[in-house]
Amino acid sequence: MQGRHGMGRGTFGRGRQLFEGFILLLLYEKPCHGYELAKQLTDLGLHLPGVGAMGNIYRILTFFEENGLIHSAWKTEDIGPAKKEYEITDRGKEVLVMISKDLDRMGSQIELFQKRLRTKQLL
Protein backbone atom coordinates (compact mmCIF):
# COMPACT_ATOMS: atom_id res chain seq x y z
CA MET A 1 0.00 0.00 0.00
CA GLN A 2 1.30 3.43 -0.88
CA GLY A 3 0.36 6.68 0.85
CA ARG A 4 -0.35 10.02 -0.79
CA HIS A 5 3.30 10.84 -1.12
CA GLY A 6 4.80 7.38 -1.57
CA MET A 7 5.45 6.77 2.11
CA GLY A 8 4.12 4.25 4.61
CA ARG A 9 4.33 1.31 2.26
CA GLY A 10 4.33 -2.33 3.28
CA THR A 11 4.10 -3.97 6.67
CA PHE A 12 5.77 -1.15 8.59
CA GLY A 13 2.86 1.26 7.89
CA ARG A 14 3.05 4.43 10.00
CA GLY A 15 6.26 3.26 11.68
CA ARG A 16 7.86 3.11 8.28
CA GLN A 17 6.55 6.59 7.51
CA LEU A 18 8.19 7.89 10.69
CA PHE A 19 11.46 6.11 9.85
CA GLU A 20 11.45 7.47 6.30
CA GLY A 21 10.53 10.91 7.63
CA PHE A 22 13.59 10.85 9.88
CA ILE A 23 15.79 9.93 6.91
CA LEU A 24 14.49 12.93 4.97
CA LEU A 25 14.82 15.15 8.05
CA LEU A 26 18.45 14.11 8.59
CA LEU A 27 19.23 14.75 4.93
CA TYR A 28 17.50 18.13 5.20
CA GLU A 29 19.74 18.97 8.15
CA LYS A 30 22.91 17.84 6.37
CA PRO A 31 23.77 15.80 3.27
CA CYS A 32 25.51 12.56 4.20
CA HIS A 33 26.39 9.05 3.02
CA GLY A 34 24.54 5.86 3.93
CA TYR A 35 26.64 4.66 6.85
CA GLU A 36 26.68 8.13 8.42
CA LEU A 37 22.90 8.22 8.04
CA ALA A 38 22.58 4.78 9.67
CA LYS A 39 24.70 5.95 12.63
CA GLN A 40 22.56 9.06 13.08
CA LEU A 41 19.39 6.94 12.99
CA THR A 42 20.85 4.55 15.56
CA ASP A 43 21.85 7.50 17.77
CA LEU A 44 18.18 8.56 17.66
CA GLY A 45 17.12 5.05 18.70
CA LEU A 46 15.78 4.26 15.22
CA HIS A 47 16.99 1.27 13.27
CA LEU A 48 15.71 -1.50 11.11
CA PRO A 49 16.37 -4.83 12.79
CA GLY A 50 18.31 -7.67 11.28
CA VAL A 51 21.43 -8.37 9.32
CA GLY A 52 20.17 -6.55 6.23
CA ALA A 53 19.52 -3.23 7.95
CA MET A 54 21.92 -1.33 5.69
CA GLY A 55 20.32 -2.95 2.67
CA ASN A 56 16.94 -1.69 3.86
CA ILE A 57 18.29 1.83 4.31
CA TYR A 58 19.82 1.75 0.81
CA ARG A 59 16.51 0.47 -0.64
CA ILE A 60 14.74 3.45 0.93
CA LEU A 61 17.42 5.82 -0.41
CA THR A 62 17.08 4.26 -3.88
CA PHE A 63 13.29 4.64 -3.73
CA PHE A 64 13.68 8.28 -2.66
CA GLU A 65 16.14 8.97 -5.46
CA GLU A 66 13.98 7.27 -8.10
CA ASN A 67 11.06 9.45 -6.98
CA GLY A 68 13.01 12.71 -6.94
CA LEU A 69 13.02 13.20 -3.16
CA ILE A 70 16.81 13.09 -2.92
CA HIS A 71 19.79 13.06 -5.25
CA SER A 72 23.24 11.65 -4.79
CA ALA A 73 26.80 12.30 -5.91
CA TRP A 74 30.03 10.43 -5.38
CA LYS A 75 32.39 12.24 -3.01
CA THR A 76 36.06 11.49 -3.49
CA GLU A 77 37.63 14.32 -1.49
CA ASP A 78 37.94 12.32 1.75
CA ILE A 79 40.65 9.79 2.47
CA GLY A 80 39.59 6.25 1.60
CA PRO A 81 37.13 4.97 -0.95
CA ALA A 82 34.59 7.22 -2.65
CA LYS A 83 31.29 7.57 -0.82
CA LYS A 84 27.88 8.27 -2.28
CA GLU A 85 26.48 11.34 -0.54
CA TYR A 86 22.73 11.95 -0.45
CA GLU A 87 21.00 15.33 -0.37
CA ILE A 88 17.31 16.22 -0.16
CA THR A 89 15.64 17.92 -3.14
CA ASP A 90 12.88 20.53 -3.19
CA ARG A 91 10.39 17.70 -3.82
CA GLY A 92 11.82 15.88 -0.80
CA LYS A 93 11.29 18.98 1.33
CA GLU A 94 7.65 19.10 0.19
CA VAL A 95 7.20 15.45 1.22
CA LEU A 96 8.91 16.17 4.54
CA VAL A 97 6.32 18.86 5.25
CA MET A 98 3.51 16.42 4.33
CA ILE A 99 4.96 13.80 6.67
CA SER A 100 5.13 16.40 9.44
CA LYS A 101 1.44 17.22 8.97
CA ASP A 102 0.54 13.51 8.97
CA LEU A 103 2.53 13.02 12.19
CA ASP A 104 0.77 16.00 13.80
CA ARG A 105 -2.58 14.34 13.04
CA MET A 106 -1.29 11.00 14.31
CA GLY A 107 -0.01 12.70 17.49
CA SER A 108 -3.49 14.06 18.16
CA GLN A 109 -4.97 10.59 17.70
CA ILE A 110 -2.38 9.09 20.05
CA GLU A 111 -3.14 11.73 22.69
CA LEU A 112 -6.87 10.96 22.42
CA PHE A 113 -6.18 7.23 22.69
CA GLN A 114 -4.00 7.70 25.80
CA LYS A 115 -6.49 10.07 27.43
CA ARG A 116 -9.38 7.66 26.94
CA LEU A 117 -7.33 4.74 28.21
CA ARG A 118 -6.25 6.71 31.31
CA THR A 119 -9.90 7.45 32.11
CA LYS A 120 -10.38 3.68 32.38
CA GLN A 121 -7.42 3.67 34.82
CA LEU A 122 -5.46 1.04 32.94
CA LEU A 123 -2.43 3.32 32.73
Domains of the chain: 10-119 (1.10.10.10)
Has this prediction a pTM greater than 0.85? no
Question: For each of the chain's 123 residues, which pLDDT tens digit applies?
Answer: 244 444 444 434 667 888 899 999 999 999 999 999 999 999 998 876 666 788 889 999 999 999 999 999 998 887 888 899 999 999 999 999 999 999 999 899 999 999 999 998 775
Listing DSSP states for the chain in one string gives: ---TTS-S-GGGHHHHHHHHHHHHHHHHH--EEHHHHHHHHHHTT----STTHHHHHHHHHHHHHHTTSEEEEEE-SSSSS-EEEEEE-HHHHHHHHHHHHHHHHHHHHHHHHHHHHHHTT--
